[in-house]
Amino acid sequence: MREYHLFKMNAIDELTDRFINYLRIEKGLSNKTIESYSADLNCYFKFLHTHRIYNLSDTDTALLLKHLISLRKQGLNARSRARHLVTLRGFYRFLVKAKVLRRDPVRQIDLPKSSLKLPAVLSVDEIKLLIEAPNTDTPLGVRDKTMLELLYAAGLRVSELITLKTTDINREAGFVKVFGKGSKERIVPIGLYAQKQVDQYLEYSRSQLLKNRTSRFMFVTRSAKPMTRQGFWKLLKRYTLKAGIAKNITPHTFRHSFASHLLEGGADLRAVQIMLGHVDISTTQIYTHVAREHLKSMHQKYHPRS
């Protein structure tokens, strides 16, 4: 097994490049996520250099905990420290898999509980209020309702919604083809409500908005240009007010609600992971906490001895 002297012969660059290529090619992570991983690793390597650790085989769990403590002393909050730990966890797993190391010193370290931020979700009734808010007597209203319906039906990110092409939707089978982070493709069912709404939009309203112009994008403006992220945010804010919902709602709130409602209804976590397009199931597991809270409240409400 090869020993890597971290500060000789560009060993840092070699290991980092191998890991980054693994994240990009095998994991399909976005450039932004990869940049964060690189920054976290650079921070860690500086820490090792400061403590005169020159071989990765000399690192252990105690040293990694010391690194996390130093990050806290530098003022990093629990969420940022948790992200550093996720980076190091992935890095050491990769090194063991690549047979650079025999053991993984990060395995015994848990993520700090205070870093767990449960996503805000809407109730089913609130979702219905929002989807019903647009005035469907107008082509724009039909478009807006279709966007909201699809956002919830397929758990889309706003970037995925606004870049949808008309060819990405299989209207007969009721599926949408989505290109997510890292250009990973996934197929997600959309359900009857969204199917009917998509049909109405494509058969009547979209052509009225285009006015004999053409566009490959599913959702267009009056000028036949694709809907923008900022434009959709403004629409959502307006419909939130119209629906009388006081919560701070973002497009991602629909995605959180999609996952939580599926789990509350008994969906398998792995299935939800696939529909969301998460590479790692640990990313999806945060929604199980929301589902557990729902079950707990149901127990307290209906159990005679709660």
Residues 6+ positions from 253 with CB-CB distance below 8 Å:
119, 120, 121, 122, 247
CB atoms within 10 A of CB 251: 21
CATH topology of domain 11-110: DNA polymerase; domain 1 (1.10.150)
Give yes or no for a contact between 41 and 82, defined as CB atoms under 8 angstroms apart: no
C-alpha–C-alpha distance, residues 19 and 23, integer Å: 6
Q: Is 18 a catalytic residue?
A: no
Pick the CATH number of 124-301 from 1.10.10.10, 3.30.70.100, 1.10.390.10, 1.10.443.10: 1.10.443.10
68: left (phi over 0), alpha (psi -120 to 50) or beta: alpha
37 catalytic per annotation: no
Q: What is the pLDDT of residue 51?
A: 86
Give the pLDDT confidence score for residue 30 in this predicted structure: 79
Which residues of the chain fall short of a pLDDT of 70? 1-11, 111-119, 182-183, 279-306
Ranges of CATH 1.10.150.130 domains, the chain: 11-110
Catalytic residue flag (residue 287) = yes
Among 81, 143, 145, 255, the one annotated catalytic: 255
**Look-up of token digits 């729902």:** 294
Q: Are 133 and 239 in contact (CB under 8 A)?
A: yes
Write down the pTM of the prediction. Answer: 0.61
Catalytic residue among 81, 84, 145, 181: 181
Residues of the chain with CATH 1.10.443.10: 124-301
- Among the listed residues 145, 157, 256, 261, the single catalytic one is 157
What's the confidence (pLDDT) of residue 299?
52
Look up 181 and say whether it is catalytic: yes
Q: Is 73 among the catalytic positions?
A: no
Check 24, 242, 252, 289 and give the catalytic one.
Answer: 252
Give pLDDT, residue 117.
56
